[in-house]
Amino acid sequence: MATALSISPELEPRMAAARERLDAWTREMIEWHFSPETGAPFWLDYAAKLGWDPRKEVHNYQDLDKLGFFQDEWLRGGPVERWIPRGLAGKPIYVFETGGSTGVPKSRISSEDFRIDYEHFSTTLPDDGFPKGADWVHVGPSGPRRLRLAVEHLAQHRGGTCFSVDLDPRWVIKLIKRGAMAEVEAYKRHVIDQALTILKAHDSVKCMFTTPKLLEALCERISLRKAGIQGIFCGGTEMTPQWVRFAHEELLEGVAFAPTYGNTLMGLAVSRPVRAEDDWAIVYYPPSPRAMVEVVDPANPSQVVGYGETGRVRLTTLTREFFMPRFLERDEAERDVPYEKYPWDGVRNVRPFQKLDKSVVEGVY
């Protein structure tokens, strides 16, 4: 582990350049979101309450600490118009949701971010596993989330089309809470049956988005290779090293595998190559400078932990559509070192944050 967590001296200039780029992007986003001409009503009101001008006081990424922590409840209810930057006036606006299994879901507005995020993600996919021009099938949550539109755009961006099978995680959570596990299994079969119908009817489908649990259920019914699948883009619940090893040895049959960590609020963090010699750990790297994922001390979330140490995941999103500084996620992980392709910190073995309310149902899909 010590070797894995050492930083190559050759990487340090690229790390410094990436940090300079992040600092410059932070200044640009602060100017955008706190300017009366381009900012959203929420952030202009927030600045007025601060009593100081973030455009004059926030000079780099570290200075975002001065703004405090982004609060979960700010996105739950209230007029979504307060989040629309004036600089986006006249553009079509989407509203996407995340959560919502209990109470009011978090909502965020979007115009182009889901397209931009997934076009960037597309550059990380190998063409031999995710061939250009191939069709896709999305098997997972859709509804109010941005995921279906995003995967559909990914397929179109790569020259294909996208079929879709919906999973409603809010309904699954309700079934689990009332102990209706037979209904959960029946619903899962219903989802997998629909996916199999698409795969049998359309041999042009070579790529798939699905979740860890649905991937496992699908592979109980078919061989991915025999079904013509060449690449799996996977996201959703925690992927433990044990599960990742099981997937590579028992499920994937050599099919390309692209695990991701992300949500409606931040976009996608991608994984460096998963290797047996690294104990099958998944290390994710955020799409800097548009979003950052850091590991912080739960007792002092302004403090990033040391390399190899465990802490709570903290998100910062920096786009023209959405500004979310210092949001504490419901996950924990280990801080990992920068990587040649991504010269900024990664997060290893993301999993649910252990100190949260255990009554909350996690890991549905």
Question: How many folded domains does the chain comprise?
Answer: 1
Cβ-contact 266, 291 below 8 angstroms: yes
Six-digit token string for 230? 């060449």
Sign for the CA dihedral angle at 200, 203, 204, 208 comes to positive
Q: How confident is the model at residue 1 (pLDDT cuts 50, 70, 90)?
A: very low
Strands 291-297 and 283-285, sheet pairing: unpaired
Give Cβ neighbours of residue 335 (< 8 Å, ≥ 6 apart).
294, 295, 304, 305, 306, 307, 308, 309, 311, 345, 346, 347, 348
- CA 317-37-46 angle, to 5 degrees, is 55
* pLDDT tens digits, 304-320: 999 999 999 999 999 99
Exposed/middle/buried for 93, CB within 10 Å: 0-12, 13-18, 19+? middle
- DSSP, res 72: G
**Does residue 86 register a pLDDT over 90?**
yes
Residue 103 has a pLDDT of: 80
- DSSP, res 77: S
Residue 194 forms part of a structural domain: yes
Strands 267-271 and 283-285, sheet pairing: antiparallel
Q: How confident is the model at residue 2 (pLDDT cuts 50, 70, 90)?
A: very low
Q: Find the domain containing 162 and state its range.
A: 112-264
Residue 23 has a pLDDT of: 99
Residue 4 has a pLDDT of: 52
Residue 20 forms part of a structural domain: no
Please report, for residues 98, 186, 297, 357, the alpha-carbon distance to residue 182 in angstroms, rounded to integers and kept in the order given.
26, 6, 40, 26
Residue 138 forms part of a structural domain: yes
Residue 361 has a pLDDT of: 65
The whole-number average pLDDT for the span 88-93 is 96
- Rg (the chain; Cα; Å): 21
Cβ-contact 348, 310 below 8 angstroms: no
Residue 210 forms part of a structural domain: yes
CATH code for the domain of 189: 3.40.50.12780
* pLDDT tens digits, 281-304: 999 999 999 999 999 999 999 999
| Nearest Cα to Cα of residue 262 among 254, 250, 251, 270 | 270
The whole-number average pLDDT for the span 38-67 is 98
Residue position matching structure tokens 């009332």 = 178
Residue 344 forms part of a structural domain: no
Residue 153 forms part of a structural domain: yes
- DSSP, res 6: P
Q: Global pTM?
A: 0.93
Residue 34 forms part of a structural domain: no
Cβ-contact 94, 109 below 8 angstroms: yes
Residue 37 forms part of a structural domain: no
